[in-house]
Amino acid sequence: MVWEKLLDQYGELIDKRLDEFFSKLVEEKRAYHPFIGDLYSEVAKYVLRKGKRLASCSTLLTYKGYAGEVGDQILDICVGVELFRHSILIHDDLVDQDELRRGDKTFHKLFSKAYDDRFSEGAAIFIGNAMYALGLQTIRGANFPQEKTSKVLQLFENDYRGVNESQVLDLLFEFKSPDVEEWRTMASRRAAVLFKTTILTGAILGGAPEQDIHLLEEAAAHIGYAFDIQDDIIDTFASEEQYGRPPGGDLRHGKKPLYVVQTMKLAGEKELEALKGIVGKESLTREELEAAREVIRKSGALGAAKDESRRHAKAAKELIARTSLSDETKEFLSSFITYVEQSLDWYK
């Protein structure tokens, strides 16, 4: 698909810039203390693991969609975006106690063998904080006009706070059953905020007209909702081959994705009791996972969640079409949204 080809093309440029950034950073930090240099070397390996670079490519291509070119300045911004994104991922994996990220250990597991879990988890907390600060420093030093830089920094600061607040609600929902509106409140500051940050950064720095900024802000929120719902569906309904790791992590942790929230509303009493006995069970078996899937399917909640994702996807594409973005960037965003829509049919 178009979006994947563009991610491959521009992702290589971003990876090269990241490699240059970390090579310099590691040497600087080794001068401070050898272990801190080694720590940032592990950060570099972690960030440079093979990934799609969706966040930073969204920034780069939105910028290019208005400015018409790609230069060193926007590549430095993309480094900042990746530092911002990975600071969140490090903390998210720690809270969820996930052990794998892109086929290797999550960051909070990297030092458990050499030291212990407490050290490894503590290092993950502190380095995640440091990466957020480094991200802002990198953005500030990218030599864009001060007015634009200030707007982007304010965006990152506000949205970082918002993401952290949503993560607290996500944790809270493991201990209570939210209604659909509560779930939407939480989700409004999760993927929706991340897409807003990355897309609007490119738009602001690229010189987008004010009308387009408003259109893209609304479109990014819709993309985030569509993606969030799809991503949660994958976690429970994908096979291990499709997912790359055992499915059902959200159910094991007792999380309440939209389809679980809707099942609580739609399922019969007997089915609901069966589901409640499964959600939050750490030793979830394959049979129990399939039983939970069946309750969710039969209640109509899976279909309802897919429909909501599709509604958001449709709204996002309509808003993007109304902007003055280049055809290349419109096609990138629209083809990604189409992929999210179509992939919903893969998980049943």
Mean pLDDT by 10 residues, the chain (348 residues): 92 97 98 97 95 94 98 98 97 88 88 94 97 98 97 97 96 94 95 96 98 98 97 91 81 94 94 92 92 96 97 98 98 97 91
pLDDT of res. 66? 98
In this structure, what DSSP letter does residue 254 have?
T
**Tokens linked to 273:** 């009791």
Distance separating alpha carbons of residues 95 and 257, to the nearest angstrom = 17
Q: What are phi and psi of 105, to 5 degrees?
A: -65, 145
Q: Which amino acid makes up residue 201? A: T
Query: In the structure encoding, which two tokens stand for residue 231, read together?
Result: 């991503």
Q: Alpha-carbon distance 303 to 313, whole Å?
A: 15
In sequence order, the 6+-apart residues with CB closer than 8 A to the CB of 345 are none
As a whole number of angstroms, the distance between CA 256 and CA 178 comes to 8
**58 contacts 194 by C-beta, under 8 angstroms:** no
CA distances from 211 to 158, 199, 252, 274 (A): 21, 14, 44, 50
Give how far Cα 304 sits from Cα of 2, 174, 245, Å.
Answer: 28, 22, 26
- Stated pTM of the model: 0.94
- Using left for φ > 0, alpha for ψ between -120 and 50, and beta otherwise, residue 134 falls in alpha
| Confidence at residue 197, expressed as pLDDT on a 0 to 100 scale | 97
User: Tokens 């590691």 identify what position?
Assistant: 26
Bridge partners of 105, per DSSP, are 100
Give me the residue label for tokens 């992929």.
Answer: 339
Torsion of Cα atoms, 257 then 260 then 264 then 267, to 10°: 160
The predicted pLDDT at position 308 comes to: 97
Q: Which spans in the chain are helix H?
A: 2-32, 34-47, 54-67, 72-96, 117-140, 146-172, 180-187, 191-206, 210-237, 240-243, 249-253, 258-266, 269-276, 286-299, 301-321, 327-343
CA distance 4 to 258: 27
Q: How many CA atoms lie within 13 A of 86 on its CB side?
A: 31
- Report the C-alpha gap between 19 and 25 in whole angstroms: 10
Q: Which residues pair with 101 in a beta bridge?
A: 104
Amino acid, single-letter form, for residue 145: P
